[in-house]
């Protein structure tokens, strides 16, 4: 029964992996990768590691790949051209693939040749409680270090995304005719909602006699809120 399931899901994983590399369309590649992740999760279940399986689906298939698909959809990436200048790399790739296969064969040989030692028979390995206990006692330091690493990544991503630097997020001028409240654009005019008619940033600056009214291009429009009176 388990062997049958293993063959099924391992076959699915390998098939999806091959398809992922072979597909010219990036979105098909992404879908194949999702297939790989899900088959792997099923394999984890047959290996009595349900927690890892669930996390695999939630984190990889459910979060990371959604972002990848999202980006592909947004950019509307065309089918990949066959890169001619990469042809010279083919021999190297063949050699590397051979090395990889040799490694895999060696591991299989090693596992089968070594005498089978009885592993400790613990029934709660792979269960949520044992993993949680392990993370917060034995492996607390690596766990905390990983958390801090992730936190740094989040902060870094936010810093990179805030291209506007110190722009007040409310005061933006969009190309095209618009009516804006004075207090939105001018930091000195507190609570002065007197309307200003303008088409460009330069016009606003001239009317208000200030410098540095932030300007938003058409591309950024969806990213920011525009206050129009």
Partner 1 sequence: MDDLIHVAWLLAGILVAFTVVMTMVAYTVLAERRVLGFIQGRLGPNRVGPGGFLQPLADLLKFIFKEDIVPDKSTRFVYFLAPVIATTAALMTIVVYPFGPEIHLPIINKTIPLVVTRFDVALLYVLGVTSVGVYGIALAGWSSNNKYSLMGGLRSSAQMISYELALGLGLIGVILQSGTLDLYSIVEQQSGHLGVTGWNLIWAQPLGFLIYLIAAIAETNRVPFDLPEAETELVAGFHTEYSAMKFALFFLAEYVNMFTVSMLATTLFLGGWNGPFVHQLPWLGVFYFFGKVILFLFLYIWLRGTLPRFRFDQLMNFGWKFLVPLAIINIFLTATLQWSGALDYVNKFLKTSVGWGG
Tell me: does residue 13 bind partner 1 (CB under 8 A).
Answer: no
Answer yes or no whether residue 204 interacts with partner 1 by CB under 8 A: no
Binding residues for partner 1, rule CB under 8 A, total 27
Identify any residues that bridge with 179 across adjacent strands, giving them in sequence order: 197
Nearest to 42 by CA among 82, 79, 84, 13: 13
Please provide the size of the chain in residues: 229
Of residues 187, 206, 213, 207, the one with CA closest to residue 195: 207
How many Å from the N-terminal Cα to the C-terminal Cα in the chain? 68
- Smallest gap from residue 143 Cβ to partner 1 (A): 17
Q: Do 173 and 201 meet the contact criterion of CB atoms below 8 Å apart?
A: yes
Shortest spacing between CB 201 and partner 1, in angstroms: 22
Nearer to partner 1, 3 or 86 (CB): 3
Give the one residue of 10, 12, 54, 216 binding partner 1; rule: CB under 8 A: 54
Q: For residue 13, how many other CB atoms are within 10 A of its CB?
A: 19
Among 18, 58, 133, 228, binds partner 1 (CB under 8 A): 58
Instruction: Tell me which residues touch partner 1 (CB under 8 A).
Output: 1, 27-28, 31, 34, 38, 41, 50-51, 53-55, 57-58, 61-63, 66-67, 69-70, 73-74, 127-129, 225
């Amino acid at each position: 029964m388990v062997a049958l399931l293993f063959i099924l899901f391992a076959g699915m994983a390998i098939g999806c992996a091959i398809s992922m590399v072979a597909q010219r369309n990036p979105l098909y590649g992404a879908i194949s990768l999702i297939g790989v992740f899900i088959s792997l999760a099923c394999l984890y279940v047959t290996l009595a590691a349900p927690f890892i399986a669930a996390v695999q689906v939630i984190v990889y298939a459910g979060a990371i790949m959604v972002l990848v698909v999202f980006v592909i959809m947004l950019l509307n990436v065309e089918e990949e051209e066959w890169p001619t200048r990469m042809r010279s790399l083919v021999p190297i790739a063949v050699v590397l693939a051979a090395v990889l296969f040799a490694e895999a064969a060696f591991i299989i040989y090693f596992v089968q040749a070594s005498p089978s030692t009885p592993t400790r028979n613990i029934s709660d390995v792979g269960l949520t409680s044992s993993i949680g206990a392990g993370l917060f006692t034995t492996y607390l330091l690596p766990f905390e270090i990983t958390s801090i690493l992730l936190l740094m990544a989040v902060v870094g991503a936010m810093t990179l995304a805030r291209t506007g630097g110190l722009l007040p997020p409310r005061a933006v001028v969009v190309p095209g005719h618009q009516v804006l409240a004075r207090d939105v654009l001018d930091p000195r005019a507190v609570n002065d909602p007197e309307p200003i008619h303008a088409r460009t940033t330069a016009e606003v600056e001239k009317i208000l006699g200030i410098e540095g009214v932030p300007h938003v291009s058409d591309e950024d429009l969806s990213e920011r809120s525009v206050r129009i009176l």
